[in-house]
Each structure stands twice: as C-alpha cells, then as structure tokens.
C-alpha cells in the first residue's frame, strides 16, 4: 500500500516532469517564432526586389516596345 508521502512524491514528480515538458515546448515555439520572423523578412526583401525588377523590365521594354515583351512572354 502507498503511503501519503509516497503518493505526494509521485504527484510532485509528475508536476516537475510536466513543467519541464512545457519549458521544452516553449523553447521550441520560441525557435519557430524566430525562424518565422526571419522568413517574413526574407519574403519582404524578395517582394521589394520583385517590384524593382518589374520596374526595370518595364523601363527596358520601352526600348524594344512593351508589346514585343508581352509577345515574348507568350512565346516563351
């Protein structure tokens, strides 16, 4: 038969393990949030670069004609 002290120790150990598991989960969530922040910054930079590329293409297309550029897109 289990005494009250043994039962209390078992319960206490369970809470300690649960606390440690929550701490581990929190660490993993923090790492994921950091990675997501980094990815969001990269996507924003890519978006800015894409806008600049579109502006460059539009500017350069004026030299050969925008219609020629559109036709080239359809062909290729």
Q: 5-48: per-residue pLDDT in tens?
A: 999 999 999 999 999 999 999 999 999 999 999 999 999 999 99
CB atoms within 10 A of CB 11: 10
> What is the pLDDT, as a whole number, of residue 66?
75
> What is the pLDDT, as a whole number, of residue 35?
96
Task: Kindly report the pTM of this predicted structure.
Answer: 0.56
- Which tokens go with 66? 């925008």
Cα distances (angstroms) measured from residue 35 to each of 4, 24, 25, 45, 61: 47, 17, 15, 15, 38
> What is the pLDDT, as a whole number, of residue 14?
95
Residue 60 has pLDDT above 90, yes or no: no
């Amino acid at each position: 038969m289990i005494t009250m002290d043994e039962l209390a120790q078992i319960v206490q150990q369970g809470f300690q393990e649960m606390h440690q598991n929550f701490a581990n989960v929190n660490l993993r969530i923090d790492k994921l949030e950091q990675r997501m922040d980094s990815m969001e910054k990269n996507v924003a930079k890519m978006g800015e670069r894409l806008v600049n590329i579109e502006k460059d293409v539009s500017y350069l297309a004026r030299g050969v004609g925008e219609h020629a550029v559109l036709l080239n897109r359809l062909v290729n």
